[in-house]
Structure 1
């Protein structure tokens, strides 16, 4: 694992979000995932499989 480096970009319009419903075990199980990505960097992203709706985040 590589230590995190500070993110110094002043741009805030480059963030993108995507939501996914992921099905596994031949359709027996499914879960939701949320991805937040910086469109200008392939190394800056966050993925969570614990959020069903943003209203549940506090």
Structure 2
């Protein structure tokens, strides 16, 4: 597995973000998820189910 490296001479990729409200168990359980993706790569993404609101992180 390659380690992630930052190259300051290369321009940053275009990041896209999406928020989801996911429901499971026939509606008995639900949670929020946040996805951040690099539009130029199918392998560069991050998904978190721990953040409900960014204001709550302060």
Q: Considering the TM-score relative to the shorter chain, is it more than 0.5?
A: yes
Q: For residue 11 of structure 1, give the secondary structure of its aligned residue in structure 2.
A: coil
1:23 matched to which residue of 2?
Answer: 23
- Mapped to 1, the partners of 2:57 and 2:42 lie a distance apart of 25
2:33 matched to which residue of 1?
Answer: 33
- Mapped to 1, the partners of 2:50 and 2:25 lie a distance apart of 18
Gaps of 5+ in 1: none
Per the TM alignment, residue 33 of structure 1 is displaced from its structure 2 partner at its CA by: 0.1
Q: Give TM-score, length-normalised by structure 2.
A: 0.81
Q: Give TM-score, length-normalised by structure 1.
A: 0.81
Gaps of 5+ in 2: none
- Mapped to 1, the partners of 2:6 and 2:49 lie a distance apart of 24
Q: How many residues align?
A: 56
Per the TM alignment, residue 5 of structure 1 is displaced from its structure 2 partner at its CA by: 2.5
Q: Does 1:46 align with 2:46?
A: yes
CA-atom RMSD in angstroms: 1.6
